[in-house]
């Protein structure tokens, strides 16, 4: 009986997806909402180590997705946004201690203009010995609030400066604030990035959209076991595709596998609710006044097996 139970647990585990996590600051007590203490970082790394997770360069995961190959369920990639100096002075030594690779995304203007809290180009080159360095825009704008032409100009400027300073061209882009909409996605297509990263809750498998890769934020104290439970849920979103102009989320429409009769829906400000599925179609009438300019919608089999959509109020 024990063998059957273990076999069942193993089967569930093997169905899980790979995960990409994102950090920002390290051991900066003045910024608790974006910082991770070194004690917490070590605790998370110890969990990865003792539970047989393998931290790999994000490029390995991207390559698997590109070639539609199954990604090992125990793979993890670690990313760092903004290139705060506290990564270099505080966090990097822990990554080196565990021999964990990382992918760091540079807020180019901050580095190029020597903003106090950010890494220098020299420090970025030193860090590149242990991980890969990529792009997080030039001016770190709210991309949904600027024009397509401004998005292209900002991105082009960041690529030119980055390439000149680092000696190579960036191949991966991380959305500033994790914010995007169809306008932003269309603007960035001209740069042919190998991958673009968001900051939506979720996991990654061979069917993940390379231009919209989910990452789970790790800040403050987190339940890493809880974070690793997230799996992808296959869905075709129909509505909404963008933040409604009148601020009213009238309905949520999507296509899923017809085998599902009930699913769970989450909307920021509304919380979770059970919804019905008819012949693979979700058509849930809400008429809900959105309470925030950044709204998260999640649909899934349960609260961990989900597909996430972020709606950003923009101009």
Inter-residue contact 225 to 47 (CB < 8 Å): yes
Cis link prior to 240 (omega < 30° from 0)? yes
**How far is residue 304 from each of residues 16, 43, 203, measured CA to CA in Å?**
11, 22, 10
- Does residue 12 have a pLDDT over 70? no
Give the single-character DSSP code of 177.
Answer: G
What pLDDT does residue 291 have?
Answer: 86
CATH topology of domain 236-312: Immunoglobulin-like (2.60.40)
pTM beyond 0.75, yes or no:
yes
- Does residue 7 have a pLDDT over 70? no
- Does residue 11 have a pLDDT over 60? no
Q: CA-to-CA distance for 61 and 295, rounded, in angstroms? A: 28
pLDDT tier for residue 16 given thresholds of 50, 70 and 90: low
**pLDDT tens, position by position, 248-307:** 999 999 999 999 999 999 999 999 999 999 999 999 999 999 988 899 999 999 999 999
Tokens of 2: 């024990």
In the chain, what are the helix, strand and coil shares in percent, each to the nearest 5?
30, 30, 40
- Does residue 148 have a pLDDT over 70? yes
Would you list the domain boundaries of the chain? 2-231, 236-312
Using a 10 angstrom Cβ sphere, with 0-12 exposed, 13-18 middle and 19 or more buried, the burial of residue 191 is middle
**pLDDT tens, position by position, 222-251:** 999 999 999 999 999 999 988 999 999 999
The neighbour count for residue 302, using CB atoms within 10 Å, is 12
CATH topology of domain 2-231: TIM Barrel (3.20.20)
In three-state secondary structure terms, 308 is strand
């Amino acid at each position: 009986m024990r063998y059957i139970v273990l076999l069942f647990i193993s089967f569930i585990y093997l169905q899980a997806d790979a995960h990409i996590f994102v950090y920002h600051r390290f051991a900066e007590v003045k910024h608790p909402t974006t910082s991770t203490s070194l004690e917490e970082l070590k605790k998370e790394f110890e969990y990865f180590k003792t539970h047989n997770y393998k931290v790999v360069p994000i490029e390995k995961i991207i390559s698997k997705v590109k070639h539609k190959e199954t990604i090992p369920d125990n793979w993890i990639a670690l990313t760092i946004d903004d290139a705060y100096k506290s990564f270099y002075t505080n966090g990097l030594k822990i990554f080196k201690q565990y021999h964990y690779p990382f992918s760091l995304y540079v807020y180019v203007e901050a580095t190029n203009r020597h903003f106090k809290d950010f890494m220098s180009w020299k420090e970025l080159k030193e860090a590149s010995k242990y991980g890969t360095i990529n792009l997080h825009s030039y001016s770190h704008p709210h991309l949904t609030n600027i024009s397509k032409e401004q998005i292209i100009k900002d991105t082009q400027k960041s690529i030119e400066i980055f390439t000149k300073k680092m000696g190579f061209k960036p191949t991966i882009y991380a959305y500033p604030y994790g914010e995007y909409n169809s306008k932003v996605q269309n603007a960035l297509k001209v740069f042919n990035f190998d991958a673009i990263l968001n900051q939506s809750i979720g996991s990654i498998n061979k069917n993940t959209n390379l231009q919209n890769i989910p990452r789970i934020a790790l800040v403050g104290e987190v339940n890493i076991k809880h974070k690793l439970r997230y799996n992808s849920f296959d869905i075709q979103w129909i509505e909404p595709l963008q933040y409604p102009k009148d601020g009213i989320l009238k309905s949520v429409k999507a296509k899923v596998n017809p085998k599902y009769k009930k699913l769970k829906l989450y909307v920021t400000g509304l919380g979770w609710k059970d919804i019905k599925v008819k012949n693979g179609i979700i058509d849930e009438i809400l008429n809900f006044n959105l309470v925030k300019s950044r709204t998260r919608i999640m649909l899934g089999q349960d609260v961990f097996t989900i597909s996430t959509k972020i709606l950003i109020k923009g101009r």
